Each structure stands twice: as structure tokens, then as C-alpha cells.
Amino acid sequence: MSIRRFTLAITGASGAFYGLRTAEEILKSGAHLTLLVTRAGFAVLKEECSLNWHGNPAQIRDMICGHFNVDPVKLAYHAEDDLYAPIASGSAAAHAMIVAPCSMGSLSRIAGGNSGNLIERCADVMLKEKKPLILVPRETPLNEIHLKNMLKLARMHAAIIPAMPAFYHHPRSINDMVDFVVGRVLDMAGVEHDLFCRWGQPERDDR
């Protein structure tokens, strides 16, 4: 069976933990991951997660692999301006692409078909190849422009999963709330996980 490959982008919205947790679970599943981060995304990672990933692409990849304790064979990194990366082509499209968190600026440019950077180009590839594109917007309140862009993308069969944790599973920590959102993302991407108790299931004792 072929190895599943995913693309994950972290943009400049608050909520970088969603992207990191998603990456961790994808790698845990045995799939290969290509990680993309915008300049603003790196700033949020530093501000919210104390991760100062900087340097040339090879150095940043090594830092990312060290953070996740994963073999570099399983994790690729490309700079946001690297439009020659394999994933920029439909012939090398991933099984699914996730943008978590997704800023309203990135969402707008994806909705408009703007391929100004590698993240936007990869999202465009997913739409044209009719492969899963999952966006996790983290903004509130939402204005009419935001809502119209989400509707436009939903009509193109992108999945919009706002960072809205549920409470029926009685979260006990911020991690529990993050895991609920990430679990819903992974459900949509077809990645098995055990991050939260589903409706009707007994509560877990290992939290």
C-alpha cells in the first residue's frame, strides 16, 4: 500500500497550536508530511509556542524534525516562495491539504485563486484536482467578506472547520479543547485518531 502524504500549512492567525497538534497526529499515523509556514506563521509560532524556527530551508527542516522527533524522510519543508517544490504540481498533489490556522488573508487569496506563494498554489492545486482541502479559520467576529469567502470555498468543496471546540466531552484543559478541533480536522482528512470522546461514548479516564 502506498504511503499517504499530507500538506499542512500554518499561517499568521492566532492558534498555531492547532497546526502543531495536527502535524503531530499525522506523523504519528505513519503518513508523510510536507509543512509550509508563512512569515507571519513563524512569528505566531514564536509568540504563542516559543518556537524560533529560522534560517535557510534545510536548517528550518532540521529544527522541525527535531521538534517532532521524526526522521527527515517523513517530513519535508519548503519556503513559502518555493514555487518549484514538487507539491506545486497537480501530478504530485498530496492526499489532502490542511491550513491550520488559516488567516482571513490566506483564506481570501485561496478563494480568489491567487497563487502568490506556495501555500496558495498548493490550495489551488487541491481544488483543481478535486482533492480534500481543509481550512481552519481562527477569527472572530466574522464580517461579510469573511463569510462570503468561506461560502465560495465551501461551494468548491473545501471543508471549513472553524476553531470552535465543543464542551459535551467535558474538556479539562486547553489541550482537550485543541484536540477536539484537531480531531474533527483529522476526521475530514481520513486520519484515524483517539483525541476526544465522541458523542455517546463514555468519558475517558486517561486525560
Confirm or deny that 103 is annotated as ligand binding.
Answer: yes
Task: Give the span between the Cα atoms of 194 and 23, in whole angstroms.
Answer: 15
109 in Cβ contact with 145 (< 8 Å): no
Confirm or deny that 77 is annotated as ligand binding.
Answer: no
Q: Is the dihedral of CA 78, 101, 170, 175 positive or negative?
A: positive
Confirm or deny that 91 is annotated as ligand binding.
Answer: no
Q: Is the dihedral of CA 22, 28, 29, 31 positive or negative?
A: positive
Distances, alpha carbon 157 to alpha carbons 131, 134, 150, 153, 191, in Å: 9, 9, 11, 7, 19
Confirm or deny that 106 is annotated as ligand binding.
Answer: yes
68 in Cβ contact with 24 (< 8 Å): yes
Confirm or deny that 138 is annotated as ligand binding.
Answer: yes
Confirm or deny that 177 is annotated as ligand binding.
Answer: no
Confirm or deny that 14 is annotated as ligand binding.
Answer: yes
Confirm or deny that 55 is annotated as ligand binding.
Answer: no
Confirm or deny that 173 is annotated as ligand binding.
Answer: no
Distances, alpha carbon 86 to alpha carbons 5, 91, 101, 125, in Å: 12, 8, 23, 11
92 in Cβ contact with 86 (< 8 Å): yes
Confirm or deny that 21 is annotated as ligand binding.
Answer: no
- Helix, strand or coil for residue 13? coil
Confirm or deny that 111 is annotated as ligand binding.
Answer: no
Q: Which amino acid is at 137?
A: P
The binding site consists of 12-14, 38, 103-106, 138, 168, 184
The binding site for FMN consists of 12-14, 38, 103-106, 138
The binding site for dimethylallyl phosphate consists of 168, 184
